[in-house]
Amino acid sequence: MKKCFILFSLLIMCMLSYAQTPLVDITFDAGGPVNNGQFDQPMTAFDASYTSSRYNPIKRTYMGCTSRDSRGFYYMFYNADDALGQAFSTAATWELLFRLDAQICNTYSNGSDTSNGTGKIFSCQESGGWSMYAHPGYGIRFQYVTNNHTITAQPNFKLETGKFYHVVVTVDWASKHLNMYINGERLVTDLALDDSEYKAPNIGTSRRQTNMWWCLGGDPSSSDEPTRAANSTQTSFVNARIYGTALTEDKVKELYNTDDVKYYTEPVVTNKNQIILDALFNADGAEDVSNFSKGTTQCLTEMGSVMTEYNETQKRYQTVSDKTVGNYFRRDYWYDPLITSELSESFAYEVYAKSNSAAPSAYLSPLSAQQSGGLGFEITTDGAVKFNPNVYAYHASTSSLVSNPAHVATEAGTLTTSWTHYVVSFDRKAGKSSIYINGALAASKNLTDEDMLTFCYAPYQWFAVAGDTRSSDVTCDYPFDGNISIARVWDKGLTATDAAELCNQAKSTSRTVTIGASGYAAVCMPFPTEIPAGLKAYTVSAISDTEVTLALLASPGNVIAYGTPVILAGEAGTYTLSAKDTRAVKVITATNNLLEGTFIDMNIAAGDAFTLASNGTLTAEVANVKATGAYLPTSGTGTRTLKIEGTAASTTYTQLSTNITGKVTCSGVGVKDVVVSDGFVVTTTDEDGKYAFYSEKKNGYVFITLPSGYEIYENYKTTAGEKIFTPFWQPLKYSKGKTEEHNFKLRVKNTDNHYMLVGADTHISTEASKTQFYKYFISAVQKEAENAGATPIYSTILGDLTCNYHWYRYDFYPSTFYSLMETDGYPFKLFPVMGNHDHDSKVDDGLNSDFDASAKYRTTFGPNYYSYNLGKVHYVVLDDTYFLNTHTPGKTYSYATGEQDYYNYVDDYQLEWLKKDLQYVDKNTPIIIGAHIPVYGISQSTFQATNNLTNGGNNCTVALSEIVKDFKTVHIVTGHTHYNYHVHPTAYPNIHENNVAAVCAIWWASEPLSGRHNTRDGAPGGYELFTVKGTDISWQYHSLEADNNSQFHAVDMNPVKEAYKTDPIIAGITEYCKNGSADWSATRKDYSTIEDNCLLLNVYNYDIDWKIEVTENGKKLPAVRGSYEDPVHYMCYDYPQYKKNKTISRDSRSGLTTHIFKIQCATPDADVDIKVTDPFGNVYKETIHRPMVWDATIMGHNETILTGADKAFKAGEKASVYVKDGAICIEATTSGVAQIVGVDGKVLSRNLSAGHNTINLPQSGVYIVTANGQTTKVFVK
């Protein structure tokens, strides 16, 4: 009986769990809405031109955005008798997380859109049905129609534009009650339903029965098929769900009280300095130095080419803007709930600018964000200054919306050609819209609290500096004509006092500060500041219950960066702080500084921050911080004494016992023994899945080691499958003095058998590299996904995902790489590795250079060292680049502040973490370690392993090997060299290192020259594919040049030898290498003296347990391993590059490699049969037909030999060339002529007709086919 009761209880629990699983669960990916719910119907964008999926680089998810055009909505079909239709008439819950971007909406009538005030957000109402909508006068409502009544839930809650809301409505016909919740609170309680029943809407092919639809962003019309929506709203959706049950209040609160929801509805103000955007111009363009950009992936992007120059008078850089619509700076803000909610309340623009004309020929905007709504600031052709915060105000007396009551303008002729300080301010709570010019009020207008901003359609929600927002991703409206040296967006309305203070700062290059008897002052200067004699500048590095620790930042004569909050220490007196020309001096930037600063007076509530008191302590009893002051933004009471690092403490430091806690669960149940770390501390979860530890919070994140048998639970999908980067980590929110909670959800996943795709060095930056990246790599891995079947594939890229020196040149940052992978449709989970080119090239050198340079990577991809388990394999990722970025005084750098130099080095922090991590791993578990720089090199003479991590006076190769020496199998995979090689260090026989050639080959440089994607060692660019079956691991190199994964090629050296003797281009290359800045000739091969009748065989992925068999006329020939340059790469890069530019790059030219074998043949023209067998029994064969042709024309356009395989047709090419039934087949889109070159060098010409062409050839062999501009190498048998 007891067993029956338990089974019955479990059945009831399962039924409840199933009922609480959404029928409809709408999230968004790059392609639009995705339904993850049980109800198997897609949601569709009616017209993709008027909806948009926007990627949030902070949350790493997409939002769906609708415009208020009647074509801008999403819809889903359903029938009255299916699960969704039944839910509407029995019991249902509607859940929505969204932001209303405009009060005004559009309705479609008589063939056109007209403005309307009632916007439908989530709706299925047409003479029946249900609807959630926003009314500008009455607020949000939910209507549910029965046969007798329209039941309206109206909680007297007004939606404010720009703010996110979590709204839940439940309807239950069993209890006949309707409830409505907003942000977790029940605002409509048990609203009674009547005695009739739900009335289906009057839509669909059989009205109220089949093919009905519901909408996001509008309301269905009464037509048989979706045409236009009524009452279309401009809305941004995070998700939308419909459940087939009425959720309880506790369940609704549970849905709301999650970090993922509250991130949007209760955004945390992590700084109080009140600047959303602070454009600091520099020699390379500009960067956003506001606290809103710190710690995020967001940046100020240069569009086109904005010229900048140094202003000697102002001691800062300025733009040189010339009215070009493509040259401006852009800062997106649409996805950030904190910014849009702040803008909704109040904001201000501040600009210091000089126009080239007092009567411009067209409107000008120095800083603006206006496009059919938004926040406009413009100067007219008659010289008036206009401020256009687009607002719609609802007038209850007339029940109507009034447009733009906040627009304000000065008189014509206000504009001059002198430097002018502008402040335009919108403050809904204070009831003012104002313009200040040179610190004085020039125009204003009174507002009401009902005057809500109308934001632009989400894709146009970005700030333009030197222009105005436009419905384009490449151009702006109203480009500025003149110079701009200050451009800021404030998250508050500025007053007359603020405007006067900021104007004074803009026109000044110095400021006095008084050090009182205590010996301290807290300041934040709006310019790069030289520390005067007698003072030192300190940051705050830590705070306890009794004291604040000061860290020395700068001494007299040092220059600290613009806007750096510091505490100055020195003798009592008055000092002058002056702006310093930073072009010829090193500027010190602060890291891990807990202080913040303000350029204007600001009020802070007592207990929210500490400020410097006259007695030299920090006090929480604060009322005001003066302009250019600094403060410590942390909660607390009482006072704290100051302690300089390295001096005796005035009191005992009290540390929290734990400051990071959390839980790891799977289906709501805690998971035991999951490893959790901050990169220093390593701990595990308890029986309930809980963990807790104290962290110094240096790295800024917490992560778990993904346990075997699980993967991270993510409740959304992308077109590529699921989210690319596994969120096994979470960024920390607070300093170490405050406790925070971080929870992780898992789901069961058997990964005992899996593939691991190992690539290296993608080096994406330019548009050309993006094109090749998609052409070669993305298309190849998508085929891998198709071929894998049910076996999961995971992936890693072994560093150099980007090119750091191109971050600031092409605006391609780590976050841009992330977005590109999403957009291109990368199909696998990616576990990234950090490389030397993933470090920020604009950090200062010094003790913190490596940590500072990894900040952008860490905030985008997460930890730079970590571990995870897949099946029975333990994977480890290490960062073995220690970035120095040495600055040479007086030297200028392009898009960098130093040499971008580095050590091959694994720091002690990582090694100590690794020891702790491996304590939880069985010694028989296979370990795969991924790093960027090779741990072991390879000798070109003995082919033995050499220690490679030896910079900085340390032998990290040995230190790392010692840590893992007791494990049975350790496989290291690395990149960096753009070569393939394998080594087995004799001192550590359990270690095998596989250095993998680059995905980018040689920085994507060979294809534009030769049509070949070829690495320095002659192998095609590619990646390694590991096959894992339990503890058995095998691998194979996959080429990006061909579909057959060929593993070798051979070159007939007779024509190579002749060319080295006679070709003037080769002679020029040889001479260039001798006379270059360094003598390269010692490492170059001279093939003019090589033996006659020999072949060079390049086995791309060769290891000591491979087998090579070669025969000529049935006689076996030895293959002798040596150190050679590959002649194929020579013709792919060196030859065409020198021929074109009379230079070659040392980093891209042919290099000596250790997987080439010399085969001495007896004759110059006999066929040679080659058979290569890898360690796993895979056999690769090819017959080499001699004599072979070797010249720039042919070898420069080859593709990997297709041994009898058909060449896949690629859409958009003029012809497809392939081999079938012993003939060359050409599919041509136009008529023309095909030229076919055989191994004997003879050229055959054949006329082509549009369509299919078959060309029979007299003999087997290799042929080069050129048809309609496409050149392909084929093998005909």
Q: How confident is the model at residue 119 (pLDDT cuts 50, 70, 90)?
A: confident
Q: Is 110 left (phi over 0), alpha (psi -120 to 50) or beta?
A: left
Q: What are phi and psi of 523, to 5 degrees?
A: -135, 160
pLDDT for residue 206 is more than 70: no
pLDDT for residue 971 is more than 70: yes
Better pLDDT: 1143 or 472: 1143
pLDDT for residue 1076 is more than 60: no
Burial 351-383 (b: 16+ CB within 10 A, else e): bbbbbebeebeeebbbbbbbbbbbbbbbbbeeb
Angle at the Cα of 377 (from 372 to 380), degrees rounded to 5?
100
C-alpha pair distances (Å), 389 with each of 338, 426, 447: 19, 7, 11
Identify the three-state secondary structure at position 785. helix
> What's the whole-number average pLDDT of the chain?
85
Token pair in block for residue 432: 């003012």
Give, as one character, the DSSP assignment of residue 1014: B
Q: How confident is the model at residue 1186 (pLDDT cuts 50, 70, 90)?
A: confident
**Contact (Cβ atoms closer than 8 angstroms) between residue 994 and residue 972:** yes
Residue with tokens 């290569």: 1172
Residues 1191-1250 have pLDDT tens digits of 433 332 223 332 222 222 222 334 577 777 778 888 887 888 888 876 455 677 888 888
1075: Cβ contacts below 8 Å, ≥ 6 apart: none
- State the burial class of residue 564 (Cβ atoms within 10 Å of its Cβ: 0-12, 13-18, 19+): buried
Q: How confident is the model at residue 111 (pLDDT cuts 50, 70, 90)?
A: low
Peptide bond into 1187 cis (omega under 30): yes
State percent of the chain over pLDDT 90: 48
The Cα 591–Cα 1224 span in angstroms is: 64
Range of weakest confidence among 255-259, 424-428, 1052-1056, 1236-1240: 1236-1240
- Can you point out the beta strands (E) in 1135-1193? 1153-1160, 1168-1173, 1179-1184
State percent of the chain over pLDDT 70: 89
Residues 463-506 have pLDDT tens digits of 999 998 888 777 889 999 999 999 999 988 999 999 999 999 99
pLDDT for residue 998 is more than 90: yes
Q: How confident is the model at residue 1007 (pLDDT cuts 50, 70, 90)?
A: confident
Residues 323-372 have pLDDT tens digits of 888 899 998 888 888 888 888 888 999 999 999 999 999 999 999 888 87
Q: What is the mean pLDDT of residues 715-736?
A: 68
DSSP per-residue letters across 1018-1066: SSBSEEEEEEEETTEEEEEEEESS-SS---EEEEEHHHHHHHHHH-HHH
pLDDT for residue 36 is more than 80: yes
The Cα 167–Cα 182 span in angstroms is: 5
Estimate the crossing angle of helix 908-918 against helix 956-964, to 10 degrees. 10
pLDDT for residue 1273 is more than 80: no
Report the pLDDT value the prediction gives residue 404, as an integer from 0 to 100: 63
**What domains, with CATH codes, occur in the chain?**
20-265 (2.60.120.200), 275-505 (2.60.120.200), 509-644 (no CATH), 660-723+735-747 (2.60.40.1120), 750-1039 (3.60.21.10), 1048-1195 (no CATH), 1215-1276 (2.60.40.3770)
771: Cβ contacts below 8 Å, ≥ 6 apart: none
pLDDT for residue 1078 is more than 70: no
The Cα 299–Cα 58 span in angstroms is: 12
C-alpha pair distances (Å), 167 with each of 128, 164, 455, 475, 645: 21, 10, 21, 37, 50
Strand pairing partners for 255?
A: none
- State the burial class of residue 10 (Cβ atoms within 10 Å of its Cβ: 0-12, 13-18, 19+): exposed
Report the pLDDT value the prediction gives residue 920, as an integer from 0 to 100: 96
Give, as one character, the DSSP assignment of residue 818: H
Most confident of 283-292, 1117-1126, 1233-1242: 1117-1126
Range of weakest confidence among 446-460, 916-930, 953-967: 446-460
Strand pairing partners for 140?
A: 134
Report the pLDDT value the prediction gives residue 609, as an integer from 0 to 100: 82
Token pair in block for residue 984: 């087995």
Q: What are phi and psi of 188, to 5 degrees?
A: -125, 120
Name the maximum alpha-carbon separation found in the chain: 103
- Can you point out the beta strands (E) in 301-366? 301-303, 307-311, 316-322, 328-332, 346-355
Residue with tokens 């082509």: 1248
In sign, the C-alpha dihedral spanning 708, 710, 714, 719 is positive
Three state DSSP letters for 627-645: CCEEEECCCCCCEEEEEEC
Sheet with 1094-1099, side-by-side order of all strands: 1048-1052, 1094-1099, 1153-1160, 1119-1124
Q: What are phi and psi of 436, to 5 degrees?
A: -120, 135
pLDDT for residue 425 is more than 50: yes
DSSP per-residue letters across 699-710: SSEEEE-BPTTE
Residue with tokens 């990582």: 910
Better pLDDT: 1080 or 740: 740
Report the pLDDT value the prediction gives residue 1212, as an integer from 0 to 100: 30
Strand pairing partners for 206?
A: 210
**Confidence (pTM):** 0.61
- State the burial class of residue 11 (Cβ atoms within 10 Å of its Cβ: 0-12, 13-18, 19+): exposed
pLDDT for residue 562 is more than 60: yes
Q: What is the mean pLDDT of residues 174-182?
A: 95
Better pLDDT: 1205 or 294: 294
Identify the three-state secondary structure at position 427. strand
Q: What is the mean pLDDT of residues 960-974?
A: 97
